[in-house]
A and B are shown apart, each in its own frame.
Chain A
Amino acid sequence: MMIAILAMLATGKYLDRTRARRHGAPSMVGDVRGVSAPNFDLATLDGRRVKLSDYRGKAVLLNFWATWCSPCKVEMPWFVDLQKKYGNDGLVILGIAMDDSESAKIAQFAHEMGVNYPVLLGTDKVSEDYGNVEFLPTSFYIDRDGKIVGKGTGLLGRGEIEANVRKALASPLADVNKAQTSSAQAHDAKAPAIAQ
Chain B
Amino acid sequence: MIRAWAFPLCALLLASFALSQEPGFKVPSVTLAPVGKVRVKAGSSATVELDFRIGSEFHINSNKPKSDVLIPTALKLSSAEPVSVAGLKYPAGQEVSFPFAPTEKLSVYSGDFAITTVVKASAKAVSGNYPVTGELRFQACDRSACYPPRSIPVKFEVAVEGR
Physical interaction between A and B = yes
* Contacts between chains A and B (CB distance < 8 A), count: 91
Give per-residue flags for B133-145: 1 if the beta carbon is below 8 A from chain A beta carbons, else 0: 0000001011011
Contacts of A66 in B (CB 8 A): 146, 148
Known: A4-B8, A109-B69. A12 touches B144 (CB 8 A): no
Known: A74-B100, A136-B146. A16 touches B20 (CB 8 A): yes
A residues at B contact (CB < 8 Å):
4, 7-9, 11-13, 15-16, 19, 29-30, 66-74, 98, 100, 105, 109, 131, 134-138, 153-155
Whether the Cβ atoms of A71 and B16 lie closer than 8 Å is no
Q: Bound state CA distance, A137 and B100, in angstroms?
A: 12
Q: Bound state CA distance, A47 and B113, in angstroms?
A: 43
Whether the Cβ atoms of B16 and A11 lie closer than 8 Å is yes
Whether the Cβ atoms of A70 and B147 lie closer than 8 Å is no
Contacts of B80 in A (CB 8 A): none
Query: Is B22's CB within 8 Å of the partner chain A?
Result: yes
Known: A70-B106, A74-B101. A134 touches B25 (CB 8 A): yes
Query: Is B87's CB within 8 Å of the partner chain A?
Result: no
Whether the Cβ atoms of A70 and B141 lie closer than 8 Å is yes
Smallest Cβ distance from B105 to chain A, in angstroms?
11
14 other A-B residue contacts (CB within 8 Å) besides A30-B20, A70-B141, A74-B101: A8-B12, A8-B16, A9-B19, A11-B16, A12-B19, A19-B20, A29-B20, A66-B146, A67-B69, A68-B70, A69-B145, A69-B146, A71-B141, A135-B25
